[in-house]
Structure 1
Amino acid sequence: MKTLTILRHAKSGWDAPVERDFDRPINARGRRGAELIGQYLKRQGLAVDRIVASPAVRVVETLDIFRPAAGLDDLEPHWDRRIYLASAATLLDVIRDAGRDAEHLLIAGHNPGLEDLVLMLVPEGAPEDLGDRLRADVEEKLPTAALARLDLDIDDWRAVDAGHARLAAFIRPRDLDPALSPGTD
C-alpha cells in the first residue's frame, strides 16, 4: 500500500514585478494557507517520506513554510523541472519514477495538472461514498495550498495507473480558516 499526497502551491502574488511566471512568489494569504495545511498534516499524523516538487519560486516558498509546519524540516525535496506546469500524464511519469523505496510520496506543483491527476487516479464511485464526495470537491476546483491524500493498493510506484486510487482526504485552507475563503481579504 502506498499513499500519495498532492499539494498545490500556495496563493501567488500577482503584484510582484517578475519577468517570468516561474519566478512569481506567494503572497501573505498564501503564506498563511501553506502554514495551516502543514499544521493540518502534522495534526492528522499523515506520513510523508519523500517530496518531489516543481522548482518554481511559488512552490519552493510554499514548501519552505509547509515543511516546518508539518514537522518535515529534515525532509529535503527532490526538485523536478518536469512538474512545472505539467500535464497529468507527465505527473504520472514523475510519480512512476519514485520507485519502490518511498511509501508516502508528496508531490507539490501546479494546476491544472494536479487537479487533472487526482481526477485521473480516482475513479468516480457511488454518490454516498466519501471518496466520491471529495472527488466532486476536487472536480469543482483544487485551489491554492489545497492538499489531497490518495491511497493506492500498489507495492511500487511504477504500477500506479489511472482509476486505481482512493481519495482519503481533501483539505483546503478555507476549511481550516474561513477568512481564507474566496472573496475575503
Structure 2
Amino acid sequence: MKTLYLVRHAKSSWKDPSLRDRDRPLNKRGKRDGPRMAAFLKEKINCPDVFISSPSRRTRDTAAYFLRAFDRLIEALELEEELYHGDEQDIESTIQSIDERHDSAMIFIHNPGITDYVNELTGEEIFNIPTCGVVGIQLDTQDWNQIRQAQAKKLFYYYPKGVDLHTQ
C-alpha cells in the first residue's frame, strides 16, 4: 500500500501586481491557515516519507508549515518544476517518479490540477479543493509507477473552513 497526500497551497496574495505569478507570497489568511492545517494533520497521520512541491513561493511556503509540523528540515523538500500549474499528467508523472522505498508522499500543488487529479484518480466528484485543502488517498499498490492500475480510495478531505481549527 502507498499513501498519497495532496495539498493545495494556502491562500496567496495578489497585493503586489509587479510580482511574477510564481513569486506571489501567502496572504494573511494563508499564513494563518497553513500552520493550523499542518498542526491539525500532524494529529491525524504519520509523517510522510517524502515531501514534494511546486517551486512557486506560495507552495514552498505552505510546504514549510507542514515540514515544521512534522519536525522535518526545509531541506527535505523536493522541488518539481512540472508541478507549477501542472495538469493531471504532470502530477501523475511526478508521483510515478517517487522512489519505491517511500510508502507515503505529500505533494504541494495548484488548482485546478489538484481537484482534477483527485477526481480522476479516486472517482470522487469534488467541485473545488479550496486553498490549503488536503486529500489523503490510499493506493492498493507497492509501486508508484502502477498508480493508474491501482485501486485508489479517498481516506479524507480536509480544508480550513470545513475543520474547526480553533479547537486544535
- 8 Å CA contact retained: 1:120, 1:162: no
Which stretches of structure 1, 4 residues or more, deviate above 4 A after TM superposition? none
- The SS at the match of 1:3 is strand
Percent identical across equivalent pairs? 29
- The SS at the match of 1:44 is coil
What residue in structure 1 maps to residue 97 of structure 2?
97
CA distance in 2 between partners of 1:27 and 1:54 (Å): 18
What residue in structure 2 maps to residue 146 of structure 1?
133
- The SS at the match of 2:63 is helix
What residue in structure 2 maps to residue 48 of structure 1?
48
For each residue in 1:19-68, what CA deviation from the matched residue of structure 2 results, as whole angstroms up to 9, or x when unmatched? 31011111110011111111111111333010111010001111122321
What residue in structure 1 maps to residue 35 of structure 2?
35
* 1:170 matches 2:146: no
How do 1:125-144 and structure 2 match up within 5 A? 135-136=124-125, 139-144=126-131
* 1:116 matches 2:103: no
- 8 Å CA contact retained: 2:100, 2:144: yes
CA distance in 2 between partners of 1:178 and 1:44 (Å): 13
TM-score, structure 1 as length reference: 0.83
> Root-mean-square deviation (CA), in Å?
1.8
Letter in structure 2 aligned against 1:11? K
- 8 Å CA contact retained: 1:154, 1:160: yes
- 8 Å CA contact retained: 2:122, 2:152: yes
- 8 Å CA contact retained: 1:122, 1:162: no
- The SS at the match of 2:43 is helix
Does the C-alpha gap of structure 1 residues 163 and 120 become closer, same or farther in structure 2, counting only changes over 3 Å? farther
Number of residues of Structure 1 aligned to a counterpart in Structure 2: 165
CA distance in 2 between partners of 1:169 and 1:33 (Å): 18
> Residue 159 of structure 1: which of 124, 143, 146 is its match?
146
Structure 1 unaligned regions, length at least 5: 124-134, 180-185
TM-score, structure 2 as length reference: 0.91
What residue in structure 2 maps to residue 74 of structure 1?
73
- The SS at the match of 2:155 is strand
Structure 2 unaligned regions, length at least 5: none
